[in-house]
Structure 1
Amino acid sequence: MALVFFDLDNTLIQGDSDYLWGEFLVANKFVDAEDYQKNNEKFYQDYQQGVLDHDEYLRFSLAPLGKHQTEELLSLNHEFVETVILPIIYPESYELIAQHKKDEDRLILHSATNSFIVSPIANILGINEVISTQLEIIGEQYTGKYIGLPNYGENKVKNIYQWLEENNLSKKHLKDCFAYSDSFNDIPLLTMAENPVVVNADDKLRDYALSCGWRIIDFEQDEKE
């Protein structure tokens, strides 16, 4: 049995769930459309260029969660997953997940996106364990703040070590582990893994992977309007 860490955005799905959630909030008038959409686009471009201020982004993206009741948010999230996320899951993702399950590996969805968005997507993918940016909840209400380390860049590796400790595992259990990602932001994660696999790579990661001799795979892309 090997541990298998899957990135989510642009790896298992054709798109960025955090960015798409922001667009979904705009479309459903949960936020001020013009201002929110402008900032959502800016932060997404910063992420793609590797210059994202993650703390600033989280303050922006999580703020709406603190302004609405949890029941209302969960209903909206269900609609988001059904209408936006399901159609953009790569068919190859299901095949890849199924193969690792056949090999009796332990699968973890390991995403920079926050747990509110990631957890229901993990359920659809059939992945039972999640490492993601964790949100503060007081009572049953989201506060719009995060707790712990944002699950981004080098923090992804630190959060794996924390996850190992919480699951009574040690670093020796990382032997033969797999990591799948599309983004050069995940080079620390991929470098840690015994079996790094680059999926639908951005240009920077593809070049880096080629220089390291890492496995590279590409899923079929649907044309976007």
Structure 2
Amino acid sequence: MRVVTVDFDGTLYQGNSFKVMFDVAKKQYKAKQWIVVGFGTAKAIGKLITSGKESAKHMFFRSFVKSFKGKSKAELEEFFNDLAYGDLERVNRPLVDKVKKHIENGDKVVILSGALNPFLTAFREAVGLEEADIIGSELFYDGNKISNGKMGDIVNGEKKAEKVQEWLKNRGLTVEDVTLWAYADSESDGPLLDMVDHPVVVNPDEDMEKLAEQKGWPVFGN
């Protein structure tokens, strides 16, 4: 059995999903929501000083999600559909076609990303990858399907490798039972790329290109 994981930001999508989310919010948000985002920005700046860039980014992401509090699941699905369908020119079409070939060949494809699950779900449908599974950051709702402004683990770095192992375990499998592929673009994806049988680097920056050369990882499109 072959399992193919595909990163989203910078890989399937040649951009930053959080920036797109922020741009859509600028058109739709009211003062109350911007106050929440403003407090989150202040906290993120503090985190940048004490814990570094990555912790600050995570803090800002969680703070932004707080602005969803009180929104229904249906409202947020519409919001994320606007995101997914509003920026399709940045879709990595050659990679989407490659992933579709994997599906045609019977491989199990998983879109693996720190982006929020409803965004990944909308994107999956927008580009015709409905058969792919999704492992992303979970957005929480109460019993009435109203957002409580909270989210689960941000699926990034080592967490991606952990989530793939968890996904396999839920199906009675381990990494030894399958042939694993991974398409990813960032140095933070190193633990995942090290774990799989077939790592493939996509859209690498200079540092990632050097790492790929050191590790002997092929670069998609080269």
Sort the TM-score into its range (normalised by shorter chain).
0.7 to 0.9
Letter in 2 for 1:153: G
SS at match of 1:200: coil
SS at match of 1:61: helix
Correspondence for 2:95: 93
The answer on 1:107 being equivalent to 2:112 is no
Cα separation, 2, equivalents of 1:206 and 1:129:
28
**2 CA distance for matches of 1:153 and 1:172?**
21
Indicate the SS of the match to 2:61. Answer: helix
Q: How many residues align?
A: 208
Q: 1-side partners of 2:216 and 2:99: how far apart?
A: 23
Question: Which amino acid in the other structure matches residue 179 of structure 1?
Answer: A
1:118 counterpart (113, 116, 120): 120
Equivalent residues in 2 for 1:32-111 (5 A)?
Answer: 32=34, 39=41, 51-53=53-55, 55-84=58-87, 86-111=88-113
Aligned to 1:163, which of 148, 163, 167?
167
Uncovered stretches (5+) of structure 1, i.e. residues with no partner: 220-225
Deviation at 1:116, TM superposition (A): 2.1
How far is the alpha carbon of 1:115 from its aligned partner? 0.9
The amino acid across from 2:213 in the alignment is: L
Distance of aligned partners of 1:167 and 1:89 in 2 relative to their CA distance in 1, 3 Å threshold: same
Amino acid at match of 1:25: A
Alignment check: 8 A CA contact 2:85 2:123 kept: no
Q: How does 1:1-225 map to 2 (within 5 A)?
A: 1-30=1-30, 31-32=33-34, 39=41, 51-53=53-55, 55-84=58-87, 86-125=88-127, 126=129, 127-139=131-143, 140-147=145-152, 149-174=153-178, 176-218=179-221
Compute the RMSD of aligned alpha carbons.
Answer: 2.5
Describe the shift of the 1:95–1:8 C-alpha distance in structure 2 as closer, same or farther (beyond 3 A): same
Gaps of 5+ in 2: none
Aligned-residue sequence identity (percent) comes to 22
Displacement of 1:218 in angstroms is 4.3
* 8 Å CA contact 1:14, 1:89 repeated in 2: yes
